[in-house]
Amino acid sequence: MSHQLPEALDQLSALLARLPGVGKRSALRLAFHILSRPREEAQQLSASLTGLHESVGFCERCGHLAGQALCDICLDPRRNPEVVCVVEGVPDLLAVEATGEFNGTYHVLHGVLSPLRGVGPSELRVAELVERVHGGGLQELILATPISVEGEATAAYIQSLVGREPKLLLSRIASGVPQGSELEYIDEATLGRALRARQAL
Amino acid sequence: MSHQLPEALDQLSALLARLPGVGKRSALRLAFHILSRPREEAQQLSASLTGLHESVGFCERCGHLAGQALCDICLDPRRNPEVVCVVEGVPDLLAVEATGEFNGTYHVLHGVLSPLRGVGPSELRVAELVERVHGGGLQELILATPISVEGEATAAYIQSLVGREPKLLLSRIASGVPQGSELEYIDEATLGRALRARQAL
């Protein structure tokens, strides 16, 4: 393109393009949108970003959002601390909570391994997880990272670290045809997986 | 959901959800992502937003990006100032430029009419366009707003304002089957339009 964009626009769109699911083109579109809206809206967004990390705290044990040292779930005496569900992020934790099917506790990794995006084990709360496991008292670790290349790699990595821990059951959430799906519309990988993981009735 | 999110997260995700193409769910996901990344990244984004409006200027005549009062295109003596292409935003202008097919000048509306999102004529550079038209000297006004409900409404609105201007040719970009498309995969509305707008050979 013959027309150079102003540096401020270039810079903003480069920063927006770092966000997950935002490509270069849509980042530029977002930057232009922000520019086309009143200045006050950009200021509000800017202010909201400035204080974010200071005003949101995480549970020291599981990594969930917390107003104090431990989160509501870790502090809840009705929850089983011996069963720990490992998830990528807080939204996944909330999704599991929404099922109403889980009575254990969590470990939030705050990401998954992604060599392409420069995310290694030290960027995740993996050391804290290993420490929890070695601390003893755990009965089951449910690996509920996403069913994706990165999610599977992360689950495999955790398995390599704690898979030989005595008396600890390691499990992985089931993958297969989602509820309400027609088989003909399901991608081959998922359907193949559902066949291989078939269960006796 | 039984777990209330911290207000800072709620606020950030509400602001992000205002961006085009960002729904409530993905806004929350973006907010969590920003939170899971180092504090410095949020600060960079915040700083980039603060100065944006100050450091980017627009052409007084056409609304394109400009480092001075008028943009490079309006100042270019090789461009035809009598043919004006009306676009929604700067990215659309750049897209038309990239075709290399247009030698006229532009008028950037900085949006399209959208009653649902509270965007009326006064939010757009419509008055400036009418003024340009009334100033005289225009030969053709090409309405290149998007082929969408909002884009069509905006084009129709502009037509209602300047359609009776003597000696001004009003035109609309063609809509039809895009290059390289199989007819069987094209949506019905587009195909119907392509049929109705068929051209004699």
Full DSSP string of A16-50: HTTSTT--HHHHHHHHHHHHHS-HHHHHHHHHHHH
- Residue A184: inside a domain, yes or no? no
Counting residues of chain A whose pLDDT is more than 90, the rounded percentage is: 69
State whether A38 and A113 are in the same domain. no
State whether A20 and A81 are in the same domain. no
Q: Identify the residue with better confidence: A180 or A106.
A: A106
pLDDT band at B198 (very low <50, low <70, confident <90, very high): confident
What pLDDT, in 10s, does the model give residues A87-122? 999 989 999 999 999 999 999 999 999 988 788 999
Nearest to B12 among A16, A49, A89 (CB): A49
CATH code of the domain in which B12 resides: 1.10.8.420
State whether A28 and A95 are in the same domain. no
Check if the beta carbon of residue A184 is closer than 8 Å to that of residue A177: no
Q: Is the ipTM of this complex over 0.85?
A: no
Q: Output the CA–CA distances (angstroms, integers) from residue B163 to A37, A159, B20, in the order listed.
A: 29, 70, 31
State whether A90 and A47 are in the same domain. no
- Residue B100: inside a domain, yes or no? yes
Check if the beta carbon of residue A84 is closer than 8 Å to that of residue A107: yes
What mean pLDDT is reported for chain B?
A: 91
CATH code of the domain in which B95 resides: 3.40.1360.10
* C-alpha atoms less than 13 angstroms from C-alpha of A11 in its C-beta half-sphere: 15
State whether A100 and A168 are in the same domain. yes
- State which residues form the domain around A34: 7-51
Q: Collect all residues of chain B within an 8 Å Cβ-Cβ radius of residue A39.
A: 53
Contact between chains at A21 and B26 (C-beta distance less than 8 A): yes
The minimum CA-CA distance between A200 and chain B, rounded to whole Å, is: 35
Among the listed residues A9, A2, A34, A16, the one whose alpha carbon sits nearest the alpha carbon of residue B110: A34
- Residue B137: inside a domain, yes or no? yes
- Residue B113: inside a domain, yes or no? yes
pLDDT of residue A2: 42
pLDDT band at A46 (very low <50, low <70, confident <90, very high): very high
Question: pTM of this prediction?
Answer: 0.70
What pLDDT, in 10s, does the model give residues B88-130? 999 899 999 999 999 999 999 999 999 887 889 999 999 999 9
What pLDDT, in 10s, does the model give residues B127-140? 999 999 999 899 99
Helix, strand, coil percentages for chain B (3-state, nearest 5):
45, 10, 40
pLDDT band at B6 (very low <50, low <70, confident <90, very high): confident
pLDDT of residue B65: 93
